[in-house]
Chains A and B, each alone.
Chain A
Amino acid sequence: MLAEVLRRLLATIPVMGVVAIAVFALLHVTPGDPAVIIAGDYATTDDIARIRTRLGLDQPFHAQVALWLGRVVRGDLGTSIFSGLPVSTLIGQRAATTIWLTLFAMLISVGIGVPIGVMAAWRKRSWLDRAVMVFAVSGFSMPTFWLGFILVYIFAITAGWLPVQGYTPLASGVGSFLSHLILPALTLSVVYMALIARMTRASMLGVLDEDYIRTAFAKGLAPRVVLVRHALKNASLPVVTTIGIGFALLIGGAVVTESVFALPGLGRLTVDAIVRRDYPVIQGVLLVVSGAYVLINLVVDVLYVVLDPRIRY
């Protein structure tokens, strides 16, 4: 099993290589001089020249790629054009907020999505099943930021139970930390929850027809035991995959959610960097977030082997 984990780990290297090159190539996606675009409309010739040397844009393309890859491998993501701080420092400052947000959203989505998916499959064609399916398709169609505003309007502006926006770190009190995080996490979780509920239901439906499930019910086991221990265990593989792949949705949604709730996370960092055309920051965030995505899916692949010993790579 260790050999398999190692092999999977090695397989992520070419993927991350492609990510690194693609993220670099973004600079050259438009036909013009990237230094001119980054410098903006009001830049002087000096500004443009400065940016050109700073980003190494005065060198031939292959040399630029080699330089970039060499730096990335050493963990050097460059420095921000706007603030002059190392990109890795900026990401470090903002990462915690985004990690908390996505973690809470993931807990809410799995905690609600899996049980309602199981219930829908168990009571197939009932009103409960229909309600779950309606939720699944409409939750998946909901614009994340709009949902965020609706929740803010209901729970913060009208009811006044929760703060409208902002963030306080965990260090300054659990209550305040949670009250600022609950609406954003709920907003972010809906799309993901819809996806997980739908996948759980589909996967459970495939398993519930099996003979051993009928046997389990026939010998008088409680439905809860049959559903969770017998059925869900075997239906969990596609669900786990969805959790891994859907992480991209969560990260994408986090960018928008942070903007609605004014959370100082990676999403805000990116959006601010885009407005300022601070390209090293944009590249750094893309690289780190994609790396996290690849890593999470690696963990999912390893979980696969643990959950289903029949699977061998």
Chain B
Amino acid sequence: MGGPEVSTSVPREVAWRRLLRRQPTFVIGLAVLVVILASGVLAPAWWTGDPQQMRPAQRLQPPSAVRWFGSDHFGRDVYTRTLYGARVSLVVGASVALLSLALGTTLGLVIGFYRRLDAVMMRVMDGLMAIPAILLALALMAMMRGSVRNVIVALLIPEIPRVIRVVRASVLSLREHTMVEAARALGVGTPRILVRYILPALVAPLIVQATYVGASAILFEAYLSFLGAGTPPHIPSWGNIMAEGKTYVQLAFWIILFPGLFLALTVLAINLVGDGLRDLLNVRG
């Protein structure tokens, strides 16, 4: 390329252009995610109506200039409901990602550093991970009342062991690192070593892991709702809209088509951002 890098503060425009060239899918994913986030948070501002308003005279109308995504069996506007549906998915995805990361990291650090605990806890983790996540979450939901909070709890339980595994693996290799040995020799206590020397090295892999956990949580929320064991039916989540639409798949395919398209795009965008971050932060996965 032309000449050495001179400036330390690259103009923002140039930095973006370089990012777009090196990681086009990352930028596209991020852009799609921002749009979906905005459409969920600012749903009232996007020419939507009331997501619950029923218009019996306009049942099962195909997409048109008035009803962009058509209407469902109660005459509710599918476009409005789809936009509002983003809220549930994003709340569940973000909550599960953040909470599983916080809890999994804490547990993983402790388990990885104490040998005696490690052997027992890893058997427990192996056992928990042997139960397919969606079935475990379904069984948990059967014992809990359907609410957004309980969906988050039911998805956390299968996800946390997976975060613990990632953290533990890193801790095990970092524990033998010279800097940790040196800190030990200087008399630094274990909690301080964990926070000051091990945790910072985990930040990059954990950010990447968080995107994958968030993406799978959003998919699983839709699965649970679709199967009737997730978010309560009166809340317009993507899974719920599609669950109601499945009876009308031959008559009104649009009820399933659009929320599913949004769901697929959201998960795809998060996965693209995750893959991009993995390359940018140089995380081996």
B138 near A146 (CB under 8 angstroms)? Answer: no
A293 near B124 (CB under 8 angstroms)? Answer: no
Residue of A15, A146, A274, A282 touching B123 (CB-CB under 8 A): A15
Stretch of A134-142, A231-239, A304-312 that contacts chain B = A134-142
Task: Report if B50 contacts A (CB, 8 A).
Answer: no
Chain A residues positioned under 8 Å from B134 (CB to CB): 252, 255-256
B223 near A145 (CB under 8 angstroms)? Answer: yes
Main secondary structure of the interface of B (DSSP, over half): helix
Q: Residue of B at shortest CB range from A287?
A: B131
Task: Report if B237 contacts A (CB, 8 A).
Answer: no
Task: Report if B250 contacts A (CB, 8 A).
Answer: yes
A271 near B264 (CB under 8 angstroms)? Answer: no
Q: Residue of A at shortest CB range from B137?
A: A252
Chain B residues positioned under 8 Å from A274 (CB to CB): 138-139, 141-142, 227-229
Q: Which of A257-294 contact B (CB under 8 A)?
A: 259-260, 270-271, 273-275, 277, 279, 282-283, 285-286, 289-290, 293-294
Chain B residues positioned under 8 Å from A15 (CB to CB): 123, 126-127, 130
Q: How far is the CB of A118 from chain B (nearest CB, A)?
A: 21
> Which of the listed residues B135, B136, B250 has the most CB atoms from chain A within 10 Å of its own CB?
B135
Q: How far is the CB of B130 from chain A (nearest CB, A)?
A: 5
Question: For chain B, which range describes its interface: under 10, 10 to 19, 20 to 34, or 35 or more residues?
Answer: 35 or more
How does the 8 Å CB contact mask read for A28-51 relative to B, with 1 for contact and 0 for none? 011000100100000000000000
Chain A residues positioned under 8 Å from B128 (CB to CB): 18-19, 22
Q: How far is the CB of B21 from chain A (nearest CB, A)?
A: 15
Task: Report if B132 contacts A (CB, 8 A).
Answer: yes
Task: Report if B240 contacts A (CB, 8 A).
Answer: no
Stretch of A63-71, A149-157, A179-187 that contacts chain B = A149-157
B130 near A293 (CB under 8 angstroms)? Answer: yes
B127 near A17 (CB under 8 angstroms)? Answer: yes
Chain A residues positioned under 8 Å from B215 (CB to CB): 141
Task: Report if B59 contacts A (CB, 8 A).
Answer: no
Q: Residue of A at shortest CB range from B285?
A: A202
Chain A residues positioned under 8 Å from B229 (CB to CB): 271, 274-275
How does the 8 Å CB contact mask read for A175-210 relative to B, with 1 for contact and 0 for none? 000000000000000000000000000000000000
Chain B residues positioned under 8 Å from A140 (CB to CB): 271
Task: Report if A16 contacts B (CB, 8 A).
Answer: yes
Task: Report if A248 contacts B (CB, 8 A).
Answer: yes
Cα separation A273 to B135 with both chains bound (whole Å): 12
Task: Report if A23 contacts B (CB, 8 A).
Answer: yes
Chain A residues positioned under 8 Å from B15 (CB to CB): none
Main secondary structure of the interface of A (DSSP, over half): helix
A146 near B228 (CB under 8 angstroms)? Answer: no
A279 near B142 (CB under 8 angstroms)? Answer: yes
Task: Report if A14 contacts B (CB, 8 A).
Answer: yes
Q: Residue of A at shortest CB range from B272?
A: A137
A145 near B242 (CB under 8 angstroms)? Answer: yes
A164 near B142 (CB under 8 angstroms)? Answer: no
Chain B residues positioned under 8 Å from A277 (CB to CB): 142
Cα separation A293 to B29 with both chains bound (whole Å): 33
Cα separation A164 to B47 with both chains bound (whole Å): 36
Q: Residue of A at shortest CB range from B274?
A: A137
Q: How far is the CB of B154 from chain A (nearest CB, A)?
A: 9
Given contact pairs A29-B144, A153-B249, A141 touches B132 in the complex (Cβ within 8 A): no
A255 near B242 (CB under 8 angstroms)? Answer: no
Task: Report if B172 contacts A (CB, 8 A).
Answer: no
Cα separation A162 to B275 with both chains bound (whole Å): 37
> Which of the listed residues B126, B132, B144, B263 has the most CB atoms from chain A within 10 Å of its own CB?
B132
B135 near A252 (CB under 8 angstroms)? Answer: yes
Chain B residues positioned under 8 Å from A294 (CB to CB): 130
Q: How far is the CB of B271 from chain A (nearest CB, A)?
A: 5
Q: How far is the CB of B284 from chain A (nearest CB, A)?
A: 11
Chain B residues positioned under 8 Å from A149 (CB to CB): 242, 246, 249, 253, 256-257, 260
Task: Report if B143 contacts A (CB, 8 A).
Answer: yes
Task: Report if A96 contacts B (CB, 8 A).
Answer: no
Cα separation A123 to B228 with both chains bound (whole Å): 45
B135 near A29 (CB under 8 angstroms)? Answer: no
Q: How far is the CB of A114 from chain B (nearest CB, A)?
A: 21
Q: Can you sample 9 A-B contacts with CB below 8 Å? A: A18-B124, A141-B215, A146-B264, A149-B249, A252-B132, A252-B133, A255-B135, A271-B228, A282-B138
Closest 5 CB pairs of A and B: A18-B127, A146-B260, A252-B134, A141-B268, A141-B267
Query: Residues of B with Cβ closer than 8 Å to A?
Result: 25, 123-124, 126-128, 130-136, 138-144, 215, 219, 222-223, 226-229, 242, 246, 249-250, 253, 256-257, 260, 263-264, 267-268, 270-272, 275
Instruction: Known A-B contacts: A15-B126, A18-B123, A21-B127. Give 20 more (CB < 8 A).
Output: A14-B123, A15-B127, A29-B140, A29-B144, A138-B264, A141-B219, A141-B270, A142-B264, A145-B223, A145-B242, A149-B256, A152-B249, A248-B133, A255-B138, A256-B226, A259-B226, A259-B227, A275-B229, A293-B130, A293-B132
